[in-house]
Structure 1
């Protein structure tokens, strides 16, 4: 294969000569000019972005087709397994750790739905492990396969459907059904399904760009899963008295772990922080006056993912705020009670070397497993047996739900609550609709007043 690293790109232009609107991507490999037309500007921009990313990674471009090595590999794929592996590896370099984990998880589920029913099929857990820990990871991060997994890999290779079979609507429907359920067979949340469908749609669009499919088959399939409410279950929301009892109970857990986390959980309740936001909170982000309200200026988060997905090799990457541009900040006013708690925490425990307030004994970030274990034990101390068996504050994240619900029920305007919580107003009202107390009584009174006038 004759290749070159001498690549130049031009801006996308609208094709004026075509009867129907189209957009042309133009580039040059060596001295050979290349072009490709797309029906929409979005498709053209996606293709050009992939090409530029490949050039940025230092990939060689084939002179004949003008495509980079990663696209050639995907284009030459004959089965979905081969194509999906090439697709994931092409997207890997410019994705965040959490996005890589989501991409791998989605493509694992999709791939398991695109298999022939061949004899000798390994159990699903083994197939999933091979895909997640080997197939969909870069070569230097792949786990070594044991004999059972090696046999499973051979079976997967032989059983994978050809990419072209995705032209059939029934094949696409099978995939949609597979990604609409959780591992335990329960229906996945709407947000989970939409995220996985978006990944699948983009992968199919990539196949269209490479000429493997004539058009994106998802655009022709009308299929929706059964609706699962994304609203917060009001049964998980604690009142202020219960919240304070739980926060106090955290300090009783363990020799030091509960005390080290005694400031982190209040940030979720009094400031409505997500756990990853609280984990990334630094002393310089906190304005803690001796009296009155304080202010948290959020900038960094520490989301947790598998080590195999992060560039640093750590389980917690440093990221910006959720669904905001990298350098965006969010100001959250905090009540005097939280100011006092954080001042006491800093005085008693200091911070990590990088300025984080909440750290393990060795200076690391508390894992989700670690702080969830502390929370479960605190519930045993603070709640009655019936409450422990109920959904009430079942997860640390429910403290955030309690905070946002409290703000809304206190009459704080929705735009202000949304800004503090880092939500859009429409998402805020949709998610917390059933946690706003008193709305039914107010509506009933207004209707009664109207009927008597």
Structure 2
């Protein structure tokens, strides 16, 4: 394979030579110019992003195909099993830890189902999943010594995996889709789990389409299979009012061992008063905080500390070090904060100080606070602050519900949706869809307008 590091990428442009709308990705490898047409701009942007990521990683590009070496491996894969491994190798370096977890989870579910119809001696499903998740799919795990049973299982998959071309047949794709609907114990999987895994399956097949290994995404042809509906809107029953939020923040100070509860009060306050995601609050540093002695302050978020299994992070730590969700790697997000949160943060810094790297919230040894730790404290606080009826209800059942309460409060206070979206780190369309049922007063206004219309058309008695 003749390769080159000399790569130039151009912006996407509309395809003027086609009657149907399409978009062209153009790039150059060495002296050879390459181009590829896509039906939608989103698909073109995804392909161009893969080329850019490969170039940033310092990959060489194949002069003949114009593809980076990692993509060329995907294109050369014959079986679904080999295609999946090459696809993960291509995605892994720039994927977040949670994305890696989700990717391997979905493909470990689908891949055992995409085998020859007459394949005999199929290993137990639990063993197949263990082989894929623990030894085969994560690139670094492929070097681990494999027990005899795992080696036999992987060899069986290599022999009986369907060819990528066979996935063009609807009946074969249905095998994968049906596998997504079941847990390992044979019970029905949760709708959110099915939707997440289906998304991964769809994206892998779409990539095969982009590389011209499949004529179109076969999932689009499956008419009789419908994924279960997933709740996309926030349940307004989880949303606390300001008085309840303050009671919970006070109760947290009594909920942890030693001074853990007092330490976590400011953490939970960031979720409620600033609408931060828990991972954003865990990454908050003193240098990100503007805390005047009076009036409103400001946080300029820059880091996020999402928790994931150590297997999926590059560092081997439980928390990934990432930029902000839906933002470029070094792009910050300014969030104005009310005087009440300014005071809480100033008190927190005075009492507990900050870590060497500036982080406000950490364990006694300087580590990142785990989900289990702050959720345990939160559940204790709920039992202290809420009535027995409220404690068994969905009200603020999770710490994340404080963020939902914050965004709901802003919307109901009349803050414009674009401003709320900017503070919360959402897109406006997502914001209005997710929080549609948490906006008060809409039904009453609609009823009043309908009643006025009816009265205006009322004839004489």
Between 196-205 and 436-445, the greater mean CA deviation after superposition: 196-205
1:158-177 deviations in Å (ceiling 9; x for gaps): 44222221010222234344
2:97 aligns with: 97
- Equivalents in 1 of 2:76, 2:35: separation in Å? 18
Helix, strand or coil at the partner of 2:191: coil
1:114 aligns with: 114
Q: 2:181–2:188: 8 Å Cα contact kept in structure 1?
A: no
Q: 1:307–1:315: 8 Å Cα contact kept in structure 2?
A: yes
The answer to whether structure 1 residue 282 and structure 2 residue 285 are counterparts is yes
Select which of 438, 442, 454 maps to 1:439.
Answer: 442
Structure 1 residue 97: Cα displacement: 2.9
The answer to whether structure 1 residue 420 and structure 2 residue 423 are counterparts is yes
Helix, strand or coil at the partner of 2:234: coil
Structure 1 residue 376: Cα displacement: 2.0
Structure 1 residues 57 and 347: alpha-carbon distance in aligned structure 2, compared to 1, 3 A threshold: closer
2:253 aligns with: 251
2:328 aligns with: 325
Q: 1:238–1:392: 8 Å Cα contact kept in structure 2?
A: yes
Structure 1 residue 282: Cα displacement: 1.1
Between 270-279 and 110-119, the greater mean CA deviation after superposition: 110-119
- Equivalents in 2 of 1:272, 1:14: separation in Å? 39
1:225 aligns with: 227
Structure 1 residues 144 and 250: alpha-carbon distance in aligned structure 2, compared to 1, 3 A threshold: farther
1:275-294 deviations in Å (ceiling 9; x for gaps): 01111111122222222222
Structure 1 residues 143 and 263: alpha-carbon distance in aligned structure 2, compared to 1, 3 A threshold: farther
- Equivalents in 2 of 1:186, 1:244: separation in Å? 37
2:459 aligns with: none
The answer to whether structure 1 residue 129 and structure 2 residue 156 are counterparts is no
Helix, strand or coil at the partner of 1:263: helix
Structure 1 residues 34 and 286: alpha-carbon distance in aligned structure 2, compared to 1, 3 A threshold: closer
- Equivalents in 2 of 1:410, 1:368: separation in Å? 31
- Equivalents in 2 of 1:46, 1:271: separation in Å? 32
Runs (5+) with no aligned partner, structure 2: 457-461
Q: 1:15–1:24: 8 Å Cα contact kept in structure 2?
A: no
Between 392-401 and 287-296, the greater mean CA deviation after superposition: 287-296
What does residue range 160-309 of structure 1 map to in structure 2 within 5 Å? 160-179=161-180, 185-189=188-192, 196-222=197-223, 224-252=226-254, 253-309=256-312
TM-score, normalising length: structure 1: 0.85
Structure 1 residue 308: Cα displacement: 2.7
Structure 1 residues 144 and 402: alpha-carbon distance in aligned structure 2, compared to 1, 3 A threshold: farther
TM-score, normalising length: structure 2: 0.83
Q: 1:115–1:156: 8 Å Cα contact kept in structure 2?
A: yes
Helix, strand or coil at the partner of 1:363: coil
Structure 1 residue 268: Cα displacement: 0.6
Structure 1 residues 229 and 17: alpha-carbon distance in aligned structure 2, compared to 1, 3 A threshold: closer
Q: 2:241–2:405: 8 Å Cα contact kept in structure 1?
A: yes
1:81 aligns with: 81
Structure 1 residue 51: Cα displacement: 5.5
- Equivalents in 2 of 1:6, 1:300: separation in Å? 32
Q: 1:14–1:24: 8 Å Cα contact kept in structure 2?
A: no
Structure 1 residue 388: Cα displacement: 2.7
Task: Give the length in aligned residue pairs.
Answer: 448
